[in-house]
Amino acid sequence: MSIPSEVEHFLRTGDYDVHCTAWPGDVLERERRAHGELRQALVMEVQRRTAGLDVPEKLQGLDVVALTRRKVEPMVRGLFPRAEQEAVLAVLERSVVFLTPANMSQVLAESSWLSTAWDLANLYLLSVGAELLGEDAPRLLGLSEHTTCYVSLAYFEEESPFADFLVHEAAHVFHNCKRRTVGLPGTRRREWLLDIDFRKRETFAYACEAYSRILEAGRSPRERMALAEEYAACAAPADERVSVAEVVELVREAAAARNGWKRILTRCAPAVRDVTRVAVGGGLSISR
C-alpha cells in the first residue's frame, strides 16, 4: 500500500504494517518515519474531531494527586505491609492521568506503542462524545500502561454506586510494576508488586473496584454485607474476560472478611509459581 493508504488504514483500525514497507529507507529508517507519521496523523485526526473543546470546569483546579491518594490508600494499606505502603502510595498517587483537551496530544505523542495510542485516542473521543476512529474501536473507560493509569472524563459522570475505574486501573499497576521500580527489594520469585495470576487480573481489578466502593459506603459489617448482595443483584461486571459469578463470590467474601483486600489477593494469586510468568508480568491493561 501507499503511505496515504497505510495512514488511513491505521486511523481506521489501529493496525499497521510492522515492516513499514511503504516508507523509503533501510529497516530502522522506515520504522522511524512510519511511527512518527502515523502518530502525528493520529494526533491531528483527534484534534480535528474535538476542535473547540475546552478543559471541563470540573477538572479546573482539581488536585488529582490528592483525589488519587484518597481513592487508592485503603487498597494499599490492606494489601502491603506497613514498611512498603508509602513507597507504593508515592507511585500510585501520581499515576492517574485524566484525558483532557489540554493533555491529549502530548499523551498520544508519548505513549509507548502505536496500538496503545490508538486505544487512548478512542477512549478520549468516547469521553467527549466525538465519533470514534473505527467501527471496531474499543469503548474504554480506562487503560493502564506500566505505572500510568489513563482515565476517561466519564469518571465524573458515573452513576453506579459500585463503579470506580480509577481504583480499577490502579489495581492493574500492581502486576505491571516491578518492586525495584518503586525502590522496594525484589527477588526472582518476588519481582512484581503483587503476584497476580495472569488469567485473574481483570477479576482482581473488578473485585478491588467494587470492594473499595463497599468500604466507602458501608460503615459496619452488616452494611457491607448488604451492599455486597446489592452488587451481586444489579451491578456485576458485564465483561467477557471475567466470570461474573466468581467476581460476585469474591466481593461477598471480601465484604465478610476482616481484611477483604487480602482475601481478594489470595483468591487471585497463581496456584503454582511459574517461571514463564516473568515473560508476561508487565504490560498493558484496559477496562471496559
Q: Which helix (H) or strand (E) holds 81?
A: none
In a domain, 198, yes or no: yes
In a domain, 34, yes or no: no
**Sheet with 142-145, edge to edge strand ranges:** 96-98, 148-151, 142-145, 284-287
| Residue closest to 218 by CA, chosen among 82, 119, 107, 74 | 74
Which phi and psi angles does 218 have, rounded to 5°?
-95, 120
Rounded to the nearest integer, the mean pLDDT of the chain is 91
Distance of CA 48 to the CA centre of its chain: 26
pTM, rounded to two decimals: 0.86
pLDDT in tens, 138-169: 888 999 988 899 999 999 988 899 999 999 99
In a domain, 261, yes or no: yes
Q: Does position 114 have pLDDT exceeding 90, yes or no? A: yes
Strands, DSSP E only, in the chain? 96-98, 142-145, 148-151, 284-287
pLDDT-above-90 percentage for the chain: 77
In a domain, 258, yes or no: yes
Domain range for 274 is 63-105+140-288
Distance of CA 75 to the CA centre of its chain: 16
In a domain, 97, yes or no: yes
Number of domains in the chain: 1
